Chain A
């Protein structure tokens, strides 16, 4: 089934550890996004990529890094996790950057202790 795949689905992580959330899409979409969702705060944009080879900072980029080596993959890395990064992380893609329907993955629930 075409769409976005995120991994892992859920993870408990000790503070200070490095963690990479994986995101793969098979729709050949140009744009990809990482959002975090926290109760009462909605979805906040962490990083985005308009096309392969380019990335940009969103609303809450600190503590996170991304890369876009190819069209399909957009991993999100937490270099040294902190408890405030406990959240549900959603990866999304769209055919056109900044416009057009966003397709979301199922989400990755991360708990940092």
Chain B
């Protein structure tokens, strides 16, 4: 079945350092979404990528969708303590409407 793998599982960085999490799918995706979950909270939508090779930026966050639409990445420049949380990617196959599958998540810790 459809699988979405995310690495690394955990990342500890010093405040000001950069951070990247990677997402890989076993199948071609129609779109990929990214979510952030603060400790004790629920996932909150960050962005959706649809086009092959698409790059989107939100302030210090840069999101990429691979050319083959099987992988994606989230890069945070100059991390801040407010970036702490777990980042999830979630993908949907074109033929599996409704089956949005999440990766295992990357938990980011930022040391001040």
A interface residues with partner B (beta carbon < 8 Å): 31, 33, 35, 40-45, 48-50, 56, 58-59, 90, 92, 94, 97-107
Contacts and interface: CB of A to CB of B under 8 A. Distances in A.
In this complex, which of B9, B43, B44, B88 has the most chain A Cβ atoms within 10 angstroms of its Cβ? B43
A103 B42 CA distance: 9
Interface stretch (B54-62, B64-72, B73-81, B101-109): B101-109
A48 B99 contact: yes
Contacts of B92: 98-99
Interface of B: 1, 6, 9, 30-31, 33, 35, 42-45, 48, 50, 88, 90, 92, 96-105
Nearest to B43: A104
Contacts of A101: 33, 45, 48
A98 B99 contact: yes
Which DSSP category, helix, strand, loop or mixed, fits chain A's interface? strand
Contacts, number: 71
25 contacts: A31-B98, A35-B102, A40-B104, A43-B90, A45-B99, A45-B100, A45-B102, A48-B99, A49-B98, A50-B97, A56-B99, A59-B1, A59-B101, A90-B42, A94-B100, A98-B30, A98-B97, A98-B98, A98-B100, A99-B31, A101-B33, A101-B48, A102-B45, A104-B44, A105-B42
B88 A102 contact: no
A47 to B, nearest CB: 10
A49 B99 CA distance: 9
A42 B103 contact: yes
Nearest to B93: A98
Contacts of B48: 99-101
Contact of A104 (B42, B50, B96, B103): B42
B105 A42 contact: yes
Nearest to B44: A104
B97 A97 contact: yes
B99 A102 contact: no
The 4 closest A-B pairs by CB, nearest first: A98-B97, A42-B104, A43-B102, A104-B42
